[in-house]
Chain A
Amino acid sequence: MPRLLLFIPLTLFIALSFFLWKGLSIDPRELPSALIDKPFPEFEVAALLQPERILTKADFIGSPVLVNVWATWCPSCRQEHEQLLRIAQENKIAIIGLNYKDERAAAMNWLQELGNPYVFNIYDESGMLGLDLGVYGAPETYLLDAQGLIRYRHVGVVTGKTWQELQVMIQNLEGNP
């Protein structure tokens, strides 16, 4: 029996190494949203392209949507724009833009130049809706279910791989609403 006890340090070492090794593949910037499974915050903010139109949460309740936080000052947003356009073309889910702390003219110009994948854009100039949502930088993408609950938050560029993962989640949402 005391012989077996001698293996305790080795076992502890292996366990520690496992945790450290696992830690290498964790991205510390990927924080889960504090709002997962909670409702999207209430808001009343003007639209980007039609400044006189006031958008509220009621504008996107009823079916799952993606809410994409973007800004013209954000280089990664340009990087993911192509992918967003592809997603919009596939027509499986509506993408709503949340234009975050941006200039209206620059943002309108961006959509004209690069194409517009968004059904509509919320113009969050002060960043207060972003703050309520727990946004800490662009780009971020949220998946909302038909009731307007936040189901998933993706931080960073939406890639083809992200889209595949999102599609699985969207199918699950539609399967058991």
Chain B
Amino acid sequence: MVVQTEAFIMLSMVLFVLGTLGVLLKRNAILVFMSIELMLNATNLAIAAFAHQWGQVDGHLFVFFIITVAAAEVAVGLALIVAIFRAKRSINIDELHQMEG
């Protein structure tokens, strides 16, 4: 059975929307962060499917770059979250309101 590109795209869109909703709705910084990862991976899926459809390697290249960049983001993001956790003993992003206005 050959799965159509459309199916991959639909799936990736669903994942992307789920990720977006996660970022908007979750209050735990780790979960927000994971949702962002989900969005990036939805992108990877879409690109891989498109690359297959166009029969090119460009898309696959793009995926590698995204994976690498995501890893870098993880490093920075987790470091920040740890720093916040040390100070506050909490990673609820609603509790971040030092600045008003």
Whether A associates with B in a native complex is: no
